[in-house]
Structure formats: structure tokens, C-alpha cells
């Protein structure tokens, strides 16, 4: 087996800067190894520390204890090799769609990404002219523009209407398959986690610890494995109740 | 901004009432014209000063001083403010110093500036600079701090260079507040220049008012005062117009984990008649 792309070694995170939130332990002893080509779905209840986990992997937050290794090197700051798709689009309101996508200076493939994301006519539009689903796609394109090896997706499908959600889900799947980018997706939605992952990690309530780590070895699209998926879902729901 | 076209007349009620009262008090000889000129006298003084070209001479001198000092204040205040805004916890570092300096009226510095810069234009520029630089710097800093931290994170995650962060996030994200600072700074400068000219000058609107006193020309005094107010108001209105029409505004869109969109707009822009 190839060397791991990402290794979390007993990562814990405690917030003690917040005055009103006080001392919050968001993550406890998370150890996790991710290999190239995986699509890891991290499932956990809201507020358990999923975003915090992704931010540590991205290098936006330092863990309190433990460490995070990317390609064997400790992560201490963000890198263009790790693309981050935030929970909300966070497009710069004064920049056009294309300028937003090209922010990191990727230049050349901005137009191409626009086409891929079905946004060809919107390159010169401003973010406020976009629908929610379009803004999400722009944010995804912005993270993909620097051609990351590892794509970190923070609830990319949350709060979207069903058709949009399915489009974007198919889009994510295509990106993963065609571009060979490794993905880590965090979500509180069990269907999303099951639809996209090759591996599922179930987190407990806060402080998040890893409860289960299972391989999802059904082929894509998952629709054709309805029965199997449904059974897994029931099982996971049961686990989630227990913890 | 609302109903500006329909209810503009409301703002004219008080000035017109005062004007009419003043006119009739004068017309019925109820004013001690040694202390308080009649409308007609002020009007004549205005006409006289205008015909002589004196008024424009004074206005031009005051304006050129204000714009020089103000320009210097922009050159220093905006970069300083943006920089302060970028420093984490900047209010803890800079707040006490700024609030101390800001409380000292610029006119209190006039004697000091006269000592330092001689009696030429130097001290006047310094007074204007001092009056304008704090509102400009403080508002610029506030503007930067109003940029939601979520956007800073984007800049970090995309590994933007400091220069790119400045041009794509800090400047566009704060220019509304910067402009509000410029507008406040301009108002402060205008008030300060008049005071500066009262103390050490041979021209300008402040000088006009002050010299009328020594000549016991109460009508010219009032003409000068009215003009100071009018020009200050016009400048402010020009700023508001530019801010409302030429400076694009936008909404920040930050949706919280719960899902509801928290849409916030930058500090509201007020007209010159509303509270600043
Ligand atoms: N910067 C912070 N300061 C203090 N507490 C924080 C901070 N960020 C997150 N938290 C807390 O950590 C916990 C986990 O947050 P988060 O990772 O955003 O959860 P999730 O993404 O799973 O909903 C929450 O209780 C949250 O309030
Ligand atoms: Mg989250």
C-alpha cells in the first residue's frame, strides 16, 4: 500500500478563547489515516466538531494536542494542495464569478471550470446575482482551481433543494472519479455520506471521537444498491442513537 | 434616503421661519443693528463682498488649505487605518492612544503648531491634518474589522499573498467605511480651518469673520458665518452623493451553521441631515 496522504495522530482540540462559550472540547483523540484516492465521508451530529476537524486538516486551526501530517509533513498552515470548500460559499461580493474562481491565481483553468460547473454564462456575474446552488458551485470551482490533491468539503450539500443537491452530488462524484482528487466530506446527513463515500467515519456527539470506521465498497452510483444502502442506513441510525 | 424627493420641504421649514422672523424683526426696527444685522444688511454685505471678488478670494483660500491638509490626512490616515484594522485585537493596541489624541481639539494645537511651523501655511495644514486624520484612520480601521472573519479564512485557505489580500479583500471590503471616515474628516477639517484662520491669517473665511469684528462690520461677520455653514454643507452633500451613487455597495453573505442566512450590510450611509 502507498504511503498515506494524510495522518491524524491523536488530535484533540479544545477552545478556551471564547468568553461565553467557555471551555469547549471539540475533538478528542482523533486518529485517522487517509490514502490517495479515497472518498472519506465523516458523519456526525451538528456541533460535534466536524468543521473543526476539517479546519485542522486544512491548516486553518492548530490542534491543541496531537498532530496532523500531510504527505508525512506536519500541517501548520494552509496549502493550495488542500482545497477547502466552506460550509457557506463565502464568495467575495465585489469580485465576479470568474475573478472569485481565479483568486488563488490559477488563471488558466478558470474558464474551463466555469464550463464544467455549468456556469459558462455567469463568468462576469457578481455573487449576489447567483442562486444558492450556483454560489455553491462557484465555491467548489474556486477550491478546485489550484488543482488540489485533497479536497475538504464542509457540508457541501446542506440547505440545498433536492434537484440542486442531486446535481451537485453527481458533480462531486464526477470530480472525484475523473480528477483523481482525494476527498474528505463532513456532513450530518446520512444519505449524503452514504451516497458519496468509499469509507464512512461515524463521529460521536461533542467532543467528537471516532465511533466507527467502515469501508463502503459498493460501486457508484449508489442507487443501484438501494437495499444494501438502506440496511446500512438503519444500522448507522441505530449506532447514532446509542451514542 | 427615503422620501427625499417628497419631504425635502420639511427641512426648509425651520430656516425659512427664522429668515421670515428675522426679516420682520428688522423691518419693524426691533433689532439692535450694532449686535445683530438685519437680513437686508447681510444680503448687501454678501453682494458687496461678492462684487469685490473678496468673498471668492477668501473661500478659495480656505478651500485650498482644507484640501491640502485633507489630502495629507488621507495619505496618512487611510494606510494607517487599514494597517491598524489588520492587526489582531488592534483596538487594544491603538484604542487608548487614539482616543486620547482625538479628544484634543485641533485648535488647541494651534499655538504649538505656530511654534513648530512658523506663521505661514504650515500650522494651518497641520491643524486640518490633525482634525481629519483621526476620523479617517479610525473609520478605515473599523471598516477592516467589519470584514467577517469567514472572509479572512478564505484568503488564508487560498494562500493569498498579503498584497493580494489587500487588493481583493481589505480595500474593497472597507472602502465604504473609509469613505465615511473621509466625509467625517472633511467636516472636521472645515470646522478647524475656520478656527485656524481666525487666529493666524490674512485671508480665508475665518479671517473674514474675525477681521469684520475688529472693523465692527457685524453684517460682514454674519455674511461670513452664513457662508461657512453653506459651503460646509455643500461639501458634505457632495460627499454623500458620491458615496451613495459612485461607490458600489454589496451585502456580505455568511450563512451560519444553522442554515439561515445572516445578510449584513456595511454601516448605513446617512445624509448630511441625519445623525452621523
Ligand atoms: N473558534 C471557536 N471558539 C470557540 N468555540 C468554537 C470555535 N469554533 C467552534 N467552536 C465550538 O466547537 C464545537 C464544534 O464546532 P464545529 O466544528 O463547527 O461543529 P460542526 O461543524 O460539527 O457543526 C461547537 O460547540 C462550537 O461552538
Ligand atoms: Mg460545521
CATH number of the domain that A217 lies in?
3.40.50.300
Same domain assignment for residues A166 and A185: yes
How confident is the model at residue B261, as a pLDDT?
36
Question: Measured between beta carbons, which residues in chain A are less than 8 angstroms from residue B257?
Answer: 46-47, 51, 87
- What the block records as the C-alpha cell of B67 is 484640501
How confident is the model at residue A83, as a pLDDT?
93
Residue B6 predicted with pLDDT over 80? no
pLDDT tens-digit profile of B84-112? 998 888 878 888 888 888 889 998 998 89
Look at A104 and B154 and tell me if their CB atoms are within 8 Å: no
Which carries the bigger pLDDT value, residue B130 or residue B118?
B130
Distance from CA of A219 to the nearest CA of B (A): 31
Q: Can you tell me the distance from the alpha carbon of B168 to that of B72, in angstroms, rounded to the nearest whole number?
A: 25
Same domain assignment for residues A93 and A143: yes
- Of A26, A41, A188, the one to substitute when testing ligand 1's pocket (max ligand atoms within 8 A of C-beta) is A26
Strands B252-255 and A199-203: unpaired
Residue A171: inside a domain: yes
Same domain assignment for residues A41 and A113: no
A188 lines ligand 1 (CB under 6 A): no
Q: Can you tell me the distance from the alpha carbon of B141 to that of B177, in angstroms, rounded to the nearest whole number?
A: 8
The model carries a pTM of 0.82
Same domain assignment for residues A77 and A166: yes
Kind plus residue range of the DSSP H or E element containing A199: strand A199-203
Per run of 10 residues, the mean pLDDT along chain A (length 243 residues) is 85 77 82 93 90 94 93 92 92 92 77 83 88 88 92 88 84 88 93 89 84 82 78 82 67
Query: From atom 18 of ligand 1, which residue's Cα is the shortest distance away?
Result: A51
Residue A15: inside a domain: no
Q: Which residue ranges form the domains of chain B, and what is each CATH number?
A: 63-248+266-275 (1.10.3720.10)
Same domain assignment for residues A109 and A185: no
How confident is the model at residue B45, as a pLDDT?
85
Q: What is the mean pLDDT of residues B178-191?
A: 92
Q: Which of B159, B164, B259 sits opposite A158 (nearest CB)?
A: B259
Same domain assignment for residues A59 and A158: yes
Same domain assignment for residues A93 and A54: no
SS3 A65: strand
Ligand 1 nearest-atom number relative to CA A45: 22
Flag whether residue B252 sits within 8 Å of chain A, measured between CB atoms.
yes
Q: Can you tell me the distance from the alpha carbon of B15 to that of B131, in angstroms, rounded to the nearest whole number?
A: 28
- Please report, for chain A, how many H helices and E strands are present, in that order: 7, 10
Residue B40 predicted with pLDDT over 70? yes
Residue A100: inside a domain: yes
Range with the lowest mean pLDDT among A86-100, A109-123, B122-136, B137-151? A109-123
Residue A195: inside a domain: yes
Q: How many domains does chain A have?
A: 2
Q: Which of B252, B255, B257 sits opposite A93 (nearest CB)?
A: B252
How confident is the model at residue B166, as a pLDDT?
94
Q: Can you tell me the distance from the alpha carbon of B77 to that of B134, in angstroms, rounded to the nearest whole number?
A: 7
**B242 with B183: CB under 8 angstroms?**
no
Residue B182 predicted with pLDDT over 90? yes
How confident is the model at residue B266, as a pLDDT?
43
Q: What is the mean pLDDT of residues B31-53?
A: 83
Q: Which of B160, B250, B257 sits opposite A94 (nearest CB)?
A: B250
- What the block records as the C-alpha cell of A236 is 448507522
- Beta partners for A82? A150
Same domain assignment for residues A100 and A192: no
Residue A23: inside a domain: no
Residue A68: inside a domain: no
Look at B158 and A103 and tell me if their CB atoms are within 8 Å: yes
How confident is the model at residue B262, as a pLDDT?
35
How confident is the model at residue A75, as a pLDDT?
93
Residue B272 predicted with pLDDT over 50? no
Which of residues A129, A147, A165 is at a domain's end?
A147
Residue A180: inside a domain: yes
How confident is the model at residue B7, as a pLDDT?
73
How confident is the model at residue B256, as a pLDDT?
47
Question: Measured between beta carbons, which residues in chain B are less than 8 angstroms from residue A88?
Answer: 150, 253-256
Residue A26: inside a domain: no
Which of residues A108, A123, A147 is at a domain's end?
A147
Same domain assignment for residues A178 and A232: yes
Flag whether residue B250 sits within 8 Å of chain A, measured between CB atoms.
yes
Q: Can you tell me the distance from the alpha carbon of A9 to that of A19, in angstroms, rounded to the nearest whole number?
A: 29
From the list B9, B131, B153, the residue with the least C-alpha distance to B74 is B131
How confident is the model at residue B268, as a pLDDT?
39
Which of residues A106, A122, A147 is at a domain's end?
A147
Residue B183 predicted with pLDDT over 90? yes
| Residue A113 belongs to domain spanning | 88-147
Q: Taking the mean position of all CA atoms in its chain, how far away is CA A52?
A: 12
Look at B253 and A91 and tell me if their CB atoms are within 8 Å: yes
Same domain assignment for residues A134 and A177: no
pLDDT grade, residue B257 (50/70/90)? very low
Residue B152 predicted with pLDDT over 90? yes
Residues 5-44 of chain A with CB under 8 A from chain B are none
Residue A188 C-alpha to ligand 1 middle, in angstroms?
14
Same domain assignment for residues A134 and A179: no
Range with the lowest mean pLDDT among A23-32, B177-186, B247-256? B247-256
Flag whether residue A156 sits within 8 Å of chain B, measured between CB atoms.
no
CA dihedral A208, A213, A219, A223 (to 10 degrees): -50
Same domain assignment for residues A104 and A223: no
Q: Which of B159, B169, B256 sits opposite A80 (nearest CB)?
A: B159
Amino acid at each position: 500500500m502507498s504511503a498515506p496522504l494524510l495522518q491524524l495522530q491523536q488530535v484533540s482540540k479544545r477552545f478556551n478563547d471564547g468568553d461565553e462559550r467557555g471551555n469547549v472540547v471539540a475533538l478528542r483523540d482523533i486518529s485517522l489515516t487517509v490514502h490517495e484516492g479515497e472518498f472519506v465521508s465523516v458523519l456526525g451530529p451538528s456541533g460535534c466538531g466536524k468543521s473543526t476537524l476539517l479546519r485542522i486538516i486544512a491548516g486553518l486551526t492548530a490542534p491543541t494536542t496531537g498532530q496532523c501530517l500531510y504527505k508525512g509533513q506536519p500541517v501548520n498552515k494552509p496549502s493550495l494542495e488542500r482545497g477547502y470548500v466552506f460550509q457557506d460559499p463565502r464568495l467575495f461580493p465585489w469580485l465576479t464569478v470568474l475573478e472569485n474562481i481565479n483568486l488563488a491565481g490559477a488563471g488558466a483553468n478558470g474558464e474551463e471550470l466555469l464550463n464544467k460547473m455549468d456556469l459558462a454564462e455567469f463568468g462576469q456575474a457578481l455573487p449576489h446575482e447567483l442562486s444558492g446552488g450556483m454560489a455553491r458551485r462557484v465555491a467548489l470551482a474556486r477550491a478546485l482551481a489550484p488543482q488540489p490533491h485533497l479536497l475538504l468539503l464542509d457540508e457541501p450539500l446542506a440547505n440545498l433543494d433536492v434537484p440542486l443537491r442531486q446535481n451537485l452530488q453527481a458533480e462531486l462524484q464526477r470530480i472525484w472519479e475523473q480528477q483523481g482528487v482525494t476527498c474528505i466530506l463532513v456532513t450530518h446527513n446520512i444519505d449524503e455520506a452514504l451516497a458519496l463515500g468509499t469509507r464512512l467515519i461515524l463521529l460521536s456527539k461533542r467532543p467528537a471521537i471516532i465511533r466507527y470506521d467502515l469501508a463502503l465498497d459498493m460501486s457508484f452510483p449508489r442507487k443501484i444498491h438501494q437495499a444494501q444502502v438502506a440496511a446500512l442506513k438503519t444500522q448507522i441510525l441505530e449506532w447514532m442513537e446509542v451514542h | 434616503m427615503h422620501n427625499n424627493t417628497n419631504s425635502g420641504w420639511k427641512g426648509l421649514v425651520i430656516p425659512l421661519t427664522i429668515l421670515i422672523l428675522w426679516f420682520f424683526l428688522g423691518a419693524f426696527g426691533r433689532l439692535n443693528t450694532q449686535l445683530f444685522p438685519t437680513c437686508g444688511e447681510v444680503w448687501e454685505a454678501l453682494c458687496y463682498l461678492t462684487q469685490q471678488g473678496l468673498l471668492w478670494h477668501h473661500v478659495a483660500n480656505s478651500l485650498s488649505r482644507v484640501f491640502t491638509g485633507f489630502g495629507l490626512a488621507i495619505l496618512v490616515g487611510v494606510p494607517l487605518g487599514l494597517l491598524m484594522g489588520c492587526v489582531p485585537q488592534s483596538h487594544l493596541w491603538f484604542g487608548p492612544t487614539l482616543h486620547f489624541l482625538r479628544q484634543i481639539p485641533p485648535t488647541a494645537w494651534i499655538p504649538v503648531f505656530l511654534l513648530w511651523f512658523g506663521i505661514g501655511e504650515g500650522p494651518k495644514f497641520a491643524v486640518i491634518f490633525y482634525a481629519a486624520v483621526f476620523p479617517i484612520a479610525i473609520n478605515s480601521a473599523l471598516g477592516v474589522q467589519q470584514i467577517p472573519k469567514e472572509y479572512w479564512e478564505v484568503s488564508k485557505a487560498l494562500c493569498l499573498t498579503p498584497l493580494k489580500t489587500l487588493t481583493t479583500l481589505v480595500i474593497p471590503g472597507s472602502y465604504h467605511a473609509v469613505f465615511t471616515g473621509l466625509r467625517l474628516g472633511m467636516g472636521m477639517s472645515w470646522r478647524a480651518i475656520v478656527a485656524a484662520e481666525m487666529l493666524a491669517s490674512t485671508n480665508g473665511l475665518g479671517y473674514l469673520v474675525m477681521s469684520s469684528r475688529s472693523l465692527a462690520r457685524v453684517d460682514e461677520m454674519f455674511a461670513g458665518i452664513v457662508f461657512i455653514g453653506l459651503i460646509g454643507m455643500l461639501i458634505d452633500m457632495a460627499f454623500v452623493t458620491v458615496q451613495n451613487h459612485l461607490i458600489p455597495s454589496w451585502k456580505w453573505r455568511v450563512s451560519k451553521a444553522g442554515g439561515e442566512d445572516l445578510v449584513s450590510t456595511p454601516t448605513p450611509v446617512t445624509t448630511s441631515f441625519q445623525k452621523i
